Structure 1
């Protein structure tokens, strides 16, 4: 009898690993969202993965039924913001980890979908909030065809001294009581092809020329005259998340639609980027956990050499390191969300650590899981190849990890030590 058999089974952890006992509210959230993730998101995500991008968002697609069911869960923006900050942090961490466990693409579509509502509520703008009710799918448009990660570096912190931003692809002209929007946003606008309302970040011209550091944040109803859309992207992963270009041709709105003007623009970029990166940390902790759990179950079922493969040392060792990485990603992501919800000023570079750690973990764990499934993992008969593809996309979205690391490193500079 092996040493492992002599020592018996390890202490079984809870659904969220080495997590202290959850409060009644947190347990309710975990159980409710996990059931939704298991019964709705996973099967729908698999269906959407095998459809064309146009079919995914067409009327009658299971995408819309799943979205309605998510809205029906009742995790609306106002309710979340009414929670005491520490409880809100715990609730949102559990909520989005379970969504990421269910399907990464759908998790991002739900998270991005709430951004116009969330930011309007956080800025205390009742008019903009009225344009973005929870049930109305939203999108966040910031990157442009010629301006990717540099759009997230609005303060120019990591800009090369010999570089030039060049002409913005999208500009809001602020004149009197009106804002006029012209240009386009890149094909990577999450929910861009299906959303009803957009939180638009763009350069602004308030009379003294175009300024990319003093831009504007505008809540744009996407049925406004002059708004059009490109084709949804056909991607390797996260195919349940529709992404595509938005075009603005003399889109005229009242100034009431401006959520943040030129004087608040840098703070508004900081705020949404901080929230989005922390959100990515929790979502892809869930994706990593999904890959680990599938590999662990398969390692008990699959036999080679007359034994379940988990009895082979290399497989057991690989699984342990996968488990270790998931636990570390969860601990960091939850800690960052808690810090940012309870501190006087949220920390962007802390949010970046959560995003980079969790997304890198998700891809590494999914890659190891695929290796444990071996040849079977390459087939669509098993779910791991889809999770692997979904995780790969996360290393790029919301700022590619390389650029985030450079910007995060610059935030560590202490002028007093120079």
Structure 2
């Protein structure tokens, strides 16, 4: 005899606090946080409930993310991140920007990436090495949400070791540069107005030959291709950038010739911190939808949350969530304390948070059973998006190598 029908989904979006009664994933999370961070979290939650939660599943189905979201984030002071207010930033501390990325990613990983971009791969190098003209022309409008930008780094043949095998070339032509090459898996490229990209002036010099450039998408010779049917991370609107005899003027070079590696690495550690924070937000959402479903779905005359095997899954999710949170915010606190290099700690946080997320979404699919495949439940989107976190910002295998070499004293 067939069992009772499954409960109707209370919402296609993870449970979100509406009357300030905390969800399971929020319990005790802010015990040691400053009032400033707590207020910032509340701002992001209200923003997410209003601007993202009602629409994210439809955006995922359409593989799109609205351009206007950036300006809406900027209006409430969420887009400026770590950058100085003197150049249009928000001047957040590391714990603050980590909390913003985490909270935004609870609703949408793509939104978490958007709010974090000014502090890492796109904005930090420009803030660090950009001329006054470049800051005014590119960075200030970006921080105001008036334009969109992306970091075009990865190439079809290489990602983690890109600076050692870069195929995109820059050839000096008087005071200009001629760029040729292809960049792949560029997040946000569908909406981008310009990119920070990297090319080598001399392959024999390895990373010392890499130089950074700012390239407008409408420059002659630039074309893009949006990946139409990605398995996951669909709202990241990723794609390729093709550079064919693209003329870039000298005033669009970012930093000096050969400084591209330094500019790229400036955003790497915070990029890994941001990836861990995104995974943390998604892990919280996964726990919440799992708890909600386990309380509503009944088998054998009781909620499935009463079954010990389901309880085992919930307990593991909750424990890994707390452990991932501690590892992630340790990186933020170390950076805030002025520790210059936190490569080992950042790799640990990224590795553990993303692995825990993938494990949690797998178990959440089991808890939801056949309903996990229904578009009426957000758990399927979380499951598909989770895998990308193990790949973005360096595949997890390379992070294991980096952690081990640090422990062994090899680096």
For 2:30, what is the secondary structure of its paired residue? coil
CA RMSD of aligned residues (A): 2.8
For 1:370, what is the secondary structure of its paired residue? helix
Does structure 2 conserve the Cα–Cα contact (< 8 Å) formed by 1:189 and 1:243?
Answer: yes
Does structure 1 conserve the Cα–Cα contact (< 8 Å) formed by 2:102 and 2:279?
Answer: yes
What is the deviation of 1:147?
A: 1.8
Structure 1: tracts of 5 or more residues without a match: 1-10, 58-62, 157-164
Does structure 1 conserve the Cα–Cα contact (< 8 Å) formed by 2:208 and 2:259?
Answer: no
Is 2:263 aligned against 1:268?
yes
1:25 paired residue number: 36
Q: Return 379-388 or 346-355, whichever deviates more.
A: 346-355
> Using the alignment, how far apart are the partners of 1:271 and 1:412 within structure 2?
23
For 1:77, what is the secondary structure of its paired residue? coil
1:291-310 equivalence runs, <5 A: 291-310=286-305
2:15 paired residue number: none
> Using the alignment, how far apart are the partners of 1:14 and 1:406 within structure 2?
31
2:126 paired residue number: 120
Q: Structure 1 377/21 Cα, relative in aligned 2: closer, same or farther at 3 Å? A: same
Deviations 1:105-151 (A, max 9, x none): 33224434664333211336433322132112110111111222221
1:8 paired residue number: none
Is 2:196 aligned against 1:191?
no
Segments of 4+ in structure 1 off by > 6 A?
Answer: 11-14
Q: Structure 1 144/79 Cα, relative in aligned 2: closer, same or farther at 3 Å? A: closer
What is the deviation of 1:243?
A: 0.8
> Using the alignment, how far apart are the partners of 1:106 and 1:344 within structure 2?
28
What is the deviation of 1:12?
A: 8.7
Does structure 2 conserve the Cα–Cα contact (< 8 Å) formed by 1:227 and 1:246?
Answer: yes
Does structure 2 conserve the Cα–Cα contact (< 8 Å) formed by 1:86 and 1:342?
Answer: no
Q: Structure 1 14/192 Cα, relative in aligned 2: closer, same or farther at 3 Å? A: closer
Report the TM-score when normalising by structure 2. Answer: 0.84
2:381 paired residue number: 386
2:50 paired residue number: 39
1:377 paired residue number: 372
Q: Structure 1 211/21 Cα, relative in aligned 2: closer, same or farther at 3 Å? A: closer
2:180 paired residue number: 182
Deviations 1:29-58 (A, max 9, x none): 11111122223223322111111x4xx26x
Q: Structure 1 397/247 Cα, relative in aligned 2: closer, same or farther at 3 Å? A: same
> Using the alignment, how far apart are the partners of 2:403 and 2:318 within structure 1?
27
Q: Structure 1 71/18 Cα, relative in aligned 2: closer, same or farther at 3 Å? A: closer
1:131-150 equivalence runs, <5 A: 131-132=138-139, 133=141, 134=143, 135=145, 136-150=147-161
For 2:158, what is the secondary structure of its paired residue? coil
> Using the alignment, how far apart are the partners of 1:413 and 1:218 within structure 2?
37
For 2:200, what is the secondary structure of its paired residue? strand
Structure 2: tracts of 5 or more residues without a match: 1-21
Q: Return 256-265 or 31-40, whichever deviates more.
A: 256-265
Is 2:89 aligned against 1:92?
no
What is the deviation of 1:360?
A: 1.0
Q: Return 272-281 or 260-269, whichever deviates more.
A: 260-269
Report the TM-score when normalising by structure 1. Answer: 0.83
Q: Return 107-116 or 277-286, whichever deviates more.
A: 107-116
